[in-house]
Chain A
């Protein structure tokens, strides 16, 4: 499964909590209230468990976590370097 689909599903199933029925890949997750700030911590925990790598603190910035697209782009880059 593609990174963006995995992230999209996790966000929709676990973090949106009924606030929206669908989310776009470019939707601003925080500004549009799709997820709350604790959701960012859950996203980091999910990524670390699912993709088996530690997200460095300096990478936990709004630019990387703004949308599903931004996050999957960041993750794809990281996973490519890892392999």
Chain B
């Protein structure tokens, strides 16, 4: 199991990079068409054509990245906090948060500088949000989220140990309530006055994501019981996965039709969240070694540094391709592969560079 977690972390960071590369594939097809065809017309993503389906399906699967990171973290914090009293736990936690936050501030600042060069404005209120809520760029929200979960982890771990069903029930309810607010938004529904309290769950990553962290801790504590319980249900697990996958795709189309938008963030739907939960559980119980697993483990071990830097790297890569190799912009699959490759290898090369030379003492402040 332990080894599988490193592999899961590696798969998750590849998916995360892919998920963010899709933005540039859509941009290339919709707005940069003139660079590779003379009569370019934007692709309609709201109708289920082959191109849209490919992006939707792969994007949905790629979205399992953050739930998988949280599951691995929950498991590892279970390991680290086991048999420790609260005081000892916080000694370890403070060190951990220190090495999470410093790279986060460094890369948030570099991202802001990059955006200012691109012409964006950062009034003070926006800057505060950048650092407090992880709004330097899309994926940065993960850092404030994981820091909150780490701070809560000694309590979450004890709750998971003492009251497993109750604790999972609680966090699942929070996830459900936060998802309901997402449906309100998608369907342009204003909640009735008695339901106004739902708004406290709105936009809270802590409420919508803590389930997977707790699931990781529960898996650490009750690993054998969970495996014994799920192992005989392999066929049912696959069947349920297929059902959740198909129904979430149908839901995506229905929501797009109702909402009138071209693209939705599928990760927020309750069916997709259920799909992610079951996918992670299926991997933890039935997962086997895959080819090139050592390379993926290596990527997994360096996932935090890749996570913080890949957005800028793939943006620069996409813009360079626009100027020097526009033909690729129209080849979506190849474009995605190139962006993912660069989004992973360039941060890894930078990490190796800083490890080998005299800047090694700064390594943890740059990459965690």
Contacts and interface: CB of A to CB of B under 8 A. Distances in A.
Interface of A: 17-19, 30-33, 36-38, 40-42, 44-45, 48-49, 55, 57, 60-63
Nearest to A57: B1
B82 A45 contact: no
B73 interface: yes
A5 B197 CA distance: 58
Interface of B is mostly: helix
B332 to A, nearest CB: 33
Nearest to A65: B79
CB-CB nearest 4 A-B residue pairs: A33-B95, A37-B76, A41-B6, A18-B363
Contacts of A44: 2-3, 6
B92 interface: yes
A18 B362 contact: yes
A55 B2 contact: yes
B96 interface: yes
Interface of B: 1-3, 5-6, 9, 73, 76-77, 79-80, 82-84, 88, 91-92, 95-96, 98-99, 223, 294, 297, 300-301, 303-304, 355, 360-364, 367-368
Contacts, number: 78
Given A31-B92, A38-B301, A62 B6 contact: no
25 contacts: A18-B355, A18-B360, A18-B362, A18-B363, A18-B364, A30-B92, A31-B92, A31-B95, A32-B95, A33-B96, A36-B96, A36-B99, A37-B77, A37-B80, A37-B96, A38-B76, A38-B304, A40-B2, A41-B2, A41-B6, A45-B297, A60-B2, A61-B79, A61-B82, A62-B82
Contacts of B3: 41, 44-45, 48
A75 to B, nearest CB: 15
A60 B79 contact: yes
Most buried by A among B3, B73, B99: B3
B367 A17 contact: yes
A36 B368 contact: yes
Nearest to B83: A62
B264 to A, nearest CB: 32
A4 B65 CA distance: 36
A4 B83 CA distance: 25
Contact of B364 (A17, A45, A62): A17
A37 B355 CA distance: 19
A16 to B, nearest CB: 8
Nearest to A37: B76
Given A17-B355, A57-B1, 6 more contacts: A37-B77, A37-B80, A38-B6, A41-B9, A45-B6, A62-B83
